[in-house]
Structure 1
Amino acid sequence: MIENNYFLQNEDLVQHFEFLIDWEEIVNAFELGFLDKQEYDKTGKEEFSMAPASKEEALEFYKSVLESAGELAGIEISPIVQKMDIEGLKYKEGKVEFPQVMINAVNKVKEAGILPYSIGRKHGGLGLPCSVQAMLMEIFSRADGSLAIALGCMNLAETIERFGSEEMVETYVPKMAAGELCGAMALTEPNYGSDLPNLQTRAIKGEDGVWRITGAKRFITHGCGFADKPSIILTLARTGSPTSGARGLSFFLVKSEDVYIAGIEKKMGLHCSPTCEVVYEDTPGILVGEEGYGLVKYSMAMMNGARLSIAGQAMGIGMAAYGEAKKYAEEREQFGKKIQNIPAVRKMLELMDREIIAMRAILQEASRSIDLYHWKSERWKEQGMDEREIKKEESIKKWEKLANLFTPLSKYYITEQANRIAFDSLQIHGGAGYTYDYDISRIYRDVRITNIYEGTTQLQVVAAIGGIVTGLSAKGILRQYLDEEMNSFSPSKELSENREKLERSHELYLSLENGENKDEVAFELVESATRVIIGVVLERGLKKLDGTAREKRADLVRAYNLDSSALLEYNKIRIENKKTKVLA
């Protein structure tokens, strides 16, 4: 693995932090008048001691966390990940054993004070906006996907913070922030993968008032906990009738010591991430929130966060693949020259380069949308503002709709491109890349799951298509967003033409009356919309740069929009052909 500071020596990531992110709007929305600092001044509570009092202090704190994470991931953890992968996990009689090198790595993150990155300050966490959390997930995932997942599971406390009772929050969240508990999401069942409305694990409330759960869950990451740290398993179970669908599902907190781990999957990648089969037999569970809202409210909120985390994970693994390809091409000599100078190889590297900036652009725009609605609304709720009134606020409505669209778009786009980059990186390595001697073989195996779990690419298209179709209507939120953003700079000819192609594809899609016909070309419309959105974000960022940095990035952005032009034309033709067949 390349060994350097994965933040400071990542030029595009640093550019985002220093120039491309509008920290004024992010910090204003997230810190909301620096309430945590006011609380510290008022009470002297230690958990608020690091709370910033200004935008400058906030940025100094965010950057220090990223620099520390970059050093840990790139210098201390990256050299040991091959050993972690080879050693892997061991399972015996319901217990999972982790490699000591991985336990040491997690402990280093804990000792550095970075572990509780998504947990609120009042419960012992760092209290970081999503824009920074996404960077952290990328940084740690670049070192190792399994490690990043473990850290992410330890940060699942956010779901409890948001929906749990006061007693539940006080009992479990501080322990997760301290690294004493892990977290797990238990949604999938052996016969019900993405078909969550029909899952059959049952929860029955006894005369003693205790809910007891019976059933089995499959593919549950860290259902076993981590090392000597047990998990609290956030479990979706049926409290209604067997045919009650989504409205018959409720959400429970279950302790891992109360379930049986029947086994772990033997996977092609992520060898240090335990994918467990969890068996519940009259297992006690604590109801989270209200009965009947398990899927439609709590699980969906948790899944949206998880999907953005997987986008960040794929971003990091994709960056690792690109870095390894670039390094190998700079060093490997064939036909009397470095292979980076062979046109076919150079073409592959250039495509990776522009896709990396595109992936990071959509990841950060999705994170921005969450910071501008979710954290702001949560802060208002903490101040006692009525939730119904918050939802009426125009900026909250706008950014919530955009977050619900950008989240599946980023998950689909980044995971697909990361897989492509890893594929091409292995190709650049040639036969050597197919051996375990080079890190790309592990990277290639690890990235493959990212466009499958937490909802396949095909399901992300289903999740996004409605938001694109309605969003591009005359008064749709996506149309408003594109208009506002493109009015803030002078769009290139390529970007303007791509927007026109998207509009035409949208019209053609709407003209298809049969739902099945629309389904067959939904991906084409989603891909077209995603590339236009990314093109807008990339060109918007150019106005914040100057000199050589701007020139270099402008070349990449123009090349990206030219790639998009060809793809949008292809997608438009595909939708046209579907309409022609329907009329024939």
Structure 2
Amino acid sequence: MIETNYFSDNEDLQESFQSILDWNEIIDAFEGDFHDHKEYQKSGKEEFAMAPGSYEDALEYYKSILESGGDIAGKQVAPIAKDMDLEGLKYSSGKVSFPQSMVKAINQVKEAGILPYSIGRKHGGLGVPATVQTMMMELFSRADASFAITLGCLNLAETIERFGSKEMIEEYVPQMADGKLFGAMALTEPNYGSDLPNLQTKAIKDADGIWRITGAKRFITHGCGFEGIPAVILTLARTGSPTSGARGLSFFLVKSADVFIAGIEKKMGLHCSPTCEVVYENSPGILIGEEGYGLVRYSMAMMNGARLSIAAQAMGIATAAYMEAQKYASAREQFGKTIRNIPAVRKMLSSMDREISGMRAILFEASRSIDLYHWKSERLKERGADEKEIRKDDSIRKWEKLANLLTPLSKYYITELANKIAYDSLQIHGGAGFTYDYDISRIYRDVRITNIYEGTTQLQVVAAIGGVVSGMSAKGHLRQYFEEEFSQFPVSSLLQENKENLEKIVESFAAIENSSLRDEMAFEVVQSTARVLIGLLLERGASKLKAKAKERKELIAREYNLESKSILAANQIEIENRKGQQLTFV
């Protein structure tokens, strides 16, 4: 692996951070009126000591966190990733042990003070917006995906912060911020993967009013905690009848000491990420929020955050694959020249570079949408606003709708393209890449799960298609978003043409009467939407750059939009052909 600072050495990431992202609007939404800084000046509470008091301070604060994370990721974690992968995990009698090099690296993150990056300052966390959290996940995922997942599980305290009672928050969140407790999500069951409304793990109140949970959960990351550190397992269980569906599910906090880890999966990749089978036998649980809202309110909110996190993970893995391909192609000689000068290889590297820029653009736009609706909502609550007042805020409503679309859209697109980039990187390595001598073999294995867990690509398409169709209606939120963004800078005629073709695709799709056929064709519509959106984001990004950086980004945007033109044309033909078949046989 390349050993350097993974934040400062990434040109595309640096362009986004320094020039493309509108930090003022993100800081406005997240920091509000710099309430945490004012609280520190007033009370002197140590947890607010680092809270920024101005836009400049906030940006410098975020930058310092990312530089520290990038340094540890590139110089401490990346060099041990290969050995961690080869050593893997050990399971015995309900206990899981981890490589000591991994334990040491986690402690280095803790000592650097950047471990609780998604936890609020008042509970001992760093308190940073979703956009910065996304960058942190990317940096550590580039070094090692398993390691990044471990950090992500520590930061599941954010879910408890949002939905737990005051007593629950005060008891558990500071411990998680301090690295004394891990987090785990327990949704999936042996017979119920994505079919969560029908899961059967049950929760019943005993005579003392304590909820007792019985059942089994499968594929539970860090359900075992981490090397002697216990976990709190956020568990979805049925409090209603066996046939009550989603409304019969509730959300609980369960201590790992009260469950049994029946085993860990032997996986193709992510060898240092424990994927546990968790057995509940009358395990005590603490209800989170209201009974009956476990899936529709709490688990879905947690999963949306997890989906963005996996998109960021895939972004980091794809970056690692691209960087390794560049390094190998620049060193490997064939036919008297380095292979990066062979046209076929050069074309592959160029395509990878272009897709990396597009993937990062949609990742940050999804993160932006969350900052502009979720955190703005939270700040209004802190000032005493009720739900009705918040719902009246046009900006919050706009960005919430966009976040609900951009989250599955980015998860689908980034994870699929990350798989392709890893595939092409291994191809560039040739036979050497198929051996364990090169990091690309681990990268290739690790990336494969990203378009499967936290909802497969197919489920992300289902989650996105409604937002696309309704969003592109006459007064839809997506159409309005495009119109607003297209008016901010001079877009190319090529991008304008692609947008018009997208409108035709959505119109053709909406005209399909057969619901089964619509389901079959949803991918083409969602893919087309992603391509037009990313093309817009690339051109918008180029408009904010100067000199050579601007020229480079404009070229990337043009090449991307040219490719999109052919993809949209093919999708339109496919939809029209299928409609024709429908008319023929109905």
* TM-score, normalization by structure 2: 0.99
Q: What residue number does 1:319 align with?
A: 319
1:332 alignment counterpart: 332
Residue 572 of structure 2 corresponds to 572
1:500-539, aligned counterparts within 5 Å?
500-539=500-539
Q: 1: CA distance between counterparts of 2:380 and 2:204?
A: 35
Aligned position for 2:256:
256
Question: Which residue is equivalent to 1:218?
Answer: 218
* Residue in structure 1 matched with residue 69 of structure 2 by the alignment: 69
After superposition, give the CA deviation of every residue in 1:348-377 in whole Å (9 maximum; x if it has no partner). 000000000000000000000000000111
Name the aligned partner's letter for residue 437 of structure 1. Answer: D
Q: Secondary structure at the match of 2:91?
A: strand
Q: Distance in 2 between matches of 1:478 and 1:106?
A: 41
Q: Give yes or no for contact 2:541–2:553 (8 Å, CA) kept in 1.
A: no
Q: 2: distance between equivalents of 1:114 and 1:171?
A: 21
Aligned AA (2:365):
E
Aligned to 2:242: 242
CA distances 1:146-167 after superposition (whole Å, capped 9, x unpaired): 0000000000000000000000
Q: Which amino acid aligns with 2:244?
A: S
Distance in 2 between residues matched to 1:265 and 1:296, nearest whole Å: 29
Structure 1 residue ranges (4+ consecutive) displaced by more than 3 angstroms after TM superposition? none
**Structure 1 residue 389 displacement after superposition:** 2.0
Task: Note if 1:49 corresponds to 2:49.
Answer: yes
Where does 1:402-481 land on structure 2 (aligned, <5 Å)?
402-481=402-481
Gaps in structure 1 of 5+ consecutive residues: none
Once the two structures are superposed, residues 293-333 of structure 1 have per-residue CA deviations (whole angstroms, 9 ceiling, x without a partner) of 00000000000000000000000000000000010000000
Residues 25-67 of structure 1: CA deviation (Å, up to 9, x unaligned): 0000100010111111111100001001100000000001111
Residue pair 2:6, 2:71 contacting (<8 A) in 1 also: yes
Q: How far has the Cα of 1:207 moved from its partner?
A: 1.7
Q: In the alignment, what sits opposite 1:285?
A: 285
In 2, distance between residues paired with 1:559 and 1:229?
49
- CA shift, 1:71, in A, is 0.7
CA distance in 2 between partners of 1:380 and 1:150 (Å): 32
Q: Tell me which moved more, 492-501 or 520-529.
A: 492-501
Task: Name the % identity.
Answer: 72
Task: Return the letter of the residue paired with 1:42.
Answer: K
Q: Which secondary structure state, in structure 2, belongs to the residue aligned with residue 313 of structure 1?
A: helix
Query: What's the CA shift for 1:243?
Result: 0.3
Distance (whole Å) between structure 2 residues aligned to residue 163 and residue 553 of structure 1: 42
Q: Which amino acid aligns with 2:32?
A: L
Q: Where does 1:100-115 land on structure 2 (aligned, <5 Å)?
A: 100-115=100-115
Q: Shift of residue 543 of structure 1?
A: 1.6
Q: Say which SS state the counterpart of residue 450 (structure 1) adopts.
A: coil
Structure 2 residue aligned with 1:87? 87
1:543 aligns with 2:553: no
Counterpart of 1:179 in structure 2 is 179
Conserved 8 A contact 2:118-2:127? yes
Per mean C-alpha deviation after superposition, the further-off stretch among 66-75 and 386-395 is 386-395
CA–CA distance in structure 1, aligned partners of residues 271 and 335 of structure 2: 37
Counterpart amino acid of 1:136? M
In 1: Cα distance, 2:94 partner to 2:496 partner: 58
Q: 1:95, 1:294 → 2: CA distance?
A: 29
The aligned amino acid for 2:357 is I
SS of residue in 2 equivalent to 1:534: helix
Q: Is the 8 A contact 2:3 2:75 kept in 1?
A: yes
| Equivalent residue letter for 1:208 | D
The match for 1:399 is 399
Aligned to 1:223, the other structure's residue is in SS state coil
AA matched with 1:488: Q
1:362 counterpart residue number? 362
Stretch deviating more after TM superposition (392-401 or 181-190): 392-401
Residue of structure 2 in register with 1:555 after alignment: 555
Q: CA deviation at 1:538?
A: 1.0
The secondary structure found in structure 1 opposite 2:506 is helix
Q: Which amino acid aligns with 2:522?
A: A
Q: Which amino acid aligns with 1:470?
A: S
User: C-alpha distance in 2, partners of 1:242/1:236?
Assistant: 14
Task: Give, as a single letter, the amino acid of the residue that structure 1 aligns with 2:158.
Answer: E
Code of the aligned partner of 2:290: E
Report Cα offsets for 1:545-580 as digits up to 9, x if no partner: 110110111111111111111111111111111111
1:352 aligns with 2:352: yes
Local SS of the residue matching 1:243: coil
Which letter does structure 2 place at the counterpart of 1:232?
V
User: Secondary structure at 1:521's aligned position in 2?
Assistant: helix
Q: Which amino acid aligns with 1:39?
A: E
Distance, in Å, in 2 between the alignment partners of 1:281 and 1:520 is 42
Offset of residue 392 of structure 1: 2.3
CA RMSD of aligned residues (A): 0.6
TM superposition shift of 1:18: 0.3
Displacement of 1:383: 2.5
Query: 1:382 Cα shift?
Result: 2.3
Question: SS of the residue aligned with 1:284?
Answer: strand
Q: CA deviation at 1:388?
A: 2.8
Aligned residues: 584
Mapped to 1, the partners of 2:226 and 2:359 lie a distance apart of 30
Gaps spanning 5+ residues in structure 2: where?
none
2:96 partner SS: strand
